[in-house]
C-alpha cells in the first residue's frame, strides 16, 4: 500500500481579467495504491462540495485523482480553504491549505515561481513504488522506485538502499524535477532480480536532504499474505451492426472476479504487441455486490478494413491468481455470427405478407387434387 501525495493548486489571474470574479482551487492527489480516496473541502469549519474527477491509473500501477472547488473572489478568505484526503488502503489522512494567490505580474517583471500558485510549503514525503506486473512478468525486470516529493530546494537528495542482511545496493538517481506549484521531486530506482522480489526479500531505503530534519527510513517487500482469486476472461467480437457501417470494429475484453486488484491487460496481433494508444482499459473497479472482487474492461478499436483481413486478436491478462500468471483469449472475424437481413414491409406496400395466404393456398390445392382424383375415377369407370 502506498499513501498519496497531495498538492494544493489555486488559479491565478490578472488584475484586469473578468475571470477574477471566480477562483478555482484544485486538490491534486497522486501516487497512491490501492485506489479509493475520500476528498473533502472545508472552509471556516464548513464542509464544501467540490467536483471530483475520475481516478486514473498510471503504467506503474499508482493512481491519481483531482477535485476542484469554484468560489467567488469576493468570498475568498486567505488561509481558510482546506483540502483533506483520506486513503482507505493506508488509513492516512493528509490536509493541505490554500493561500491567497497573488495577481500575475506584467511580463516585464520577474515572476517568482515558488509559492506563486498558492501552495503552502509542507514537509517532503517519501514513497516506495513496487515493481509493476508488466515489469515482473513481461520485461522480467523488477524495478523498485523511491520517490521524494515536496522538496523546497532543487538539490538532489542522498538516497541509499540495503538488503535485509545489510548489503548495500546500487541506485540509479535522477536530477530533481520542478513542478508548477514551486516544489521539486526526485526519484531513485533499484533493479533487483524477479526471483528476489517474488521470494519476499526486504529492501530498506534511507533518504537524507536539507529539507528533511532527520533521515527518512522506509522498507518494502512483496506482501505474501494476500489471498488470490483468478480472473475469468471473456472476449467479444465487433457487433455486426457496427461492421455494416464499414468504418470501425470494436473488440472488447471483460476480465472479472479477481483479487487482488493489481492486473495487467494488453492486446496482441500476429504475436506483436498492439500500442497502448489503440485500446482503453476501464478499471479495475469493484464488483457490485461482491466483496474482495474486481473487474476490468478493455476496448480495442481498429479500422473495419483491418478486421476484415482475418487476423486473430488476443486479449492478454497477467494476474497472480492465474495458474501460470498469464492467460489469453482470442477472436477473429469467423467469430462474428451471420445476421440475416430482416426486411420490414409497410402496410399496403409490395412484399406485404397476408396471414391468410398459407391456409387459402392449402385449401385450393386440396380441392384441385380432389377434382383431379374424381375425374380419373370417372374415366376408369367408363
Is there a contact between 315 and 332 (Cβ–Cβ < 8 Å)? Answer: no
Identify the residue with better confidence: 1 or 107: 1
Specify whether 184 is located in the same domain as 264.
no
What does the alpha-carbon distance between residue 28 and residue 64 come to, in Å, rounded to a whole number? Answer: 8
Q: In what order do the strands lie in the sheet with 46-48?
A: 46-48, 37-43, 81-87, 93-98
Last residue of a domain, one of 198, 221, 244: 221
Residue 352, domain member (yes or no): no
pLDDT at 352: 40
Q: Which of 36-40, 155-159, 251-255, 352-356 has the lowest mean pLDDT?
A: 352-356
Specify whether 150 is located in the same domain as 92.
no
Is residue 79's pLDDT more than 70? no
pLDDT at 206: 92
Specify whether 241 is located in the same domain as 330.
yes
pLDDT at 106: 39
Specify whether 23 is located in the same domain as 65.
yes
Residue 280, domain member (yes or no): yes
- Angle, CA 163 vertex, CA 160 and CA 167 arms, to 5°: 80
Is residue 64's pLDDT more than 60? yes
- Give percent of the chain above pLDDT 90: 14
Specify whether 242 is located in the same domain as 331.
yes
Closest CA to 253 of 329, 344, 184: 329
Handedness of CA 265, 269, 273, 277 (dihedral sign): negative
Residue 56, domain member (yes or no): yes
What pTM, to 2 d.p., does this model score? 0.51
The CATH number linked to 141 is 2.60.40.10
Specify whether 86 is located in the same domain as 26.
yes
320 — pLDDT class (breaks 50, 70, 90)? confident
Mean pLDDT (the chain) is 76
Identify the residue with better confidence: 355 or 370: 370
CB-facing half-sphere around the CA of 21: CA atoms within 13 A: 2
351 — pLDDT class (breaks 50, 70, 90)? very low
18 — pLDDT class (breaks 50, 70, 90)? very low
Specify whether 144 is located in the same domain as 170.
yes
Specify whether 304 is located in the same domain as 240.
yes
Is residue 47's pLDDT more than 80? no
Specify whether 194 is located in the same domain as 254.
no
Specify whether 80 is located in the same domain as 137.
no
pLDDT at 359: 53
Residue 177, domain member (yes or no): yes
Specify whether 190 is located in the same domain as 250.
no
pLDDT at 252: 94
Among 106-120, 244-258, 282-296, 340-354, top mean pLDDT goes to 244-258
Residue 33, domain member (yes or no): yes
Last residue of a domain, one of 175, 198, 221: 221
pLDDT at 195: 85
- Using one digit for the tens of pLDDT, what is the confidence trace for 184-218? 888 889 988 888 888 888 899 999 988 888 888 88
Q: How many domains does the chain have?
A: 3
Residue 301, domain member (yes or no): yes
Residue 149 C-alpha cell reads as 516529493
CB-facing half-sphere around the CA of 167: CA atoms within 13 A: 7
Specify whether 328 is located in the same domain as 267.
yes
Q: Which of 72-76, 104-108, 128-132 has the lowest mean pLDDT?
A: 104-108
Q: Would you give the end-to-end CA distance of the chain in angstroms? A: 106
pLDDT at 43: 66
pLDDT at 119: 41
Residue 373 C-alpha cell reads as 382424383
Q: Which of 81-85, 118-122, 275-279 has the lowest mean pLDDT?
A: 118-122
- Using one digit for the tens of pLDDT, what is the confidence trace for 149-174? 888 888 888 999 998 888 888 888 88
Is residue 223's pLDDT more than 80? no
What does the alpha-carbon distance between residue 184 and residue 151 come to, in Å, rounded to a whole number? Answer: 5
Is residue 91's pLDDT more than 60? yes
Handedness of CA 107, 109, 110, 112 (dihedral sign): negative
Residue 344, domain member (yes or no): no
Last residue of a domain, one of 320, 335, 350: 335
Residue 354, domain member (yes or no): no
pLDDT at 259: 85
pLDDT at 232: 92
pLDDT at 35: 80
Give the mean pLDDT of 353-363. 48
Which residues constitute the domain of residue 212? 125-221
Amino acid at each position: 500500500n502506498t499513501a498519496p501525495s497531495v498538492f494544493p493548486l489555486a488559479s491565478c489571474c490578472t488584475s484586469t481579467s473578468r475571470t477574477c470574479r471566480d477562483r478555482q482551487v484544485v486538490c491534486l492527489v497522486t501516487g497512491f495504491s490501492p485506489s479509493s480516496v475520500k476528498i473533502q473541502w472545508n472552509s471556516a469549519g464548513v464542509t464544501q462540495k467540490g467536483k471530483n474527477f475520475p481516478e486514473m491509473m498510471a503504467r506503474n500501477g499508482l493512481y491519481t485523482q483531482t477535485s476542484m472547488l469554484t468560489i467567488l473572489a469576493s468570498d475568498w478568505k486567505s488561509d481558510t480553504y482546506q483540502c483533506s484526503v483520506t486513503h482507505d488502503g493506508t488509513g492516512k489522512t493528509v490536509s493541505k491549505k490554500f493561500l491567497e494567490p497573488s495577481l500575475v505580474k506584467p511580463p516585464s517583471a520577474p515572476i517568482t515561481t515558488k509559492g506563486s500558485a498558492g501552495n503552502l510549503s509542507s514537509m517532503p514525503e517519501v514513497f516506495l513504488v513496487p515493481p509493476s506486473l508488466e515489469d515482473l512478468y513481461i520485461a522480467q525486470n523488477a524495478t523498485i522506485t523511491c520517490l521524494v516529493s515536496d522538496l523546497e530546494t532543487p538539490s538532489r537528495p542522498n538516497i541509499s538502499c540495503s538488503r535485509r542482511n545489510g548489503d548495500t545496493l546500487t541506485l540509479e538517481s535522477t536530477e530533481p524535477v520542478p513542478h508548477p506549484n514551486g516544489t521539486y521531486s526526485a526519484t531513485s530506482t533499484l533493479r533487483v532480480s524477479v526471483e528476489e522480489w517474488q521470494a519476499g526479500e526486504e529492501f530498506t531505503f534511507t533518504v537524507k536532504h536539507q529539507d528533511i530534519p532527520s533521515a527518512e527510513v522506509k522498507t518494502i517487500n512483496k506482501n505474501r499474505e494476500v489471498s488470490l482469486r483468478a480472473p475469468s476472461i471473456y472476449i467479444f467480437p465487433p457487433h455486426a451492426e457496427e461492421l455494416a457501417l464499414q468504418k470501425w470494429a470494436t473488440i472488447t475484453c471483460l476480465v472479472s472476479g479477481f483479487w487482488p486488484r493489481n492486473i495487467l491487460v494488453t492486446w496482441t496481433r500476429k504475436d506483436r504487441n498492439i500500442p497502448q494508444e489503440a485500446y482503453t482499459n476501464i478499471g479495475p473497479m469493484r464488483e457490485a455486490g461482491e466483496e474482495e472482487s474486481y473487474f476490468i474492461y478493455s476496448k480495442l478499436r481498429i479500422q473495419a478494413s483491418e478486421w476484415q483481413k482475418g487476423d486473430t486478436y488476443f486479449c492478454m491478462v497477467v494476474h497472480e491468481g492465474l495458474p501460470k500468471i498469464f492467460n489469453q483469449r482470442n477472436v477473429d472475424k469467423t467469430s462474428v455470427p451471420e445476421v440475416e437481413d430482416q426486411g420490414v414491409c409497410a402496410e399496403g406496400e409490395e412484399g406485404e405478407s397476408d396471414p391468410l395466404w398459407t391456409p387459402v393456398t392449402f385449401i385450393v390445392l386440396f380441392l384441385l387434387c380432389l377434382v383431379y382424383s374424381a375425374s380419373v375415377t370417372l374415366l376408369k369407370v367408363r
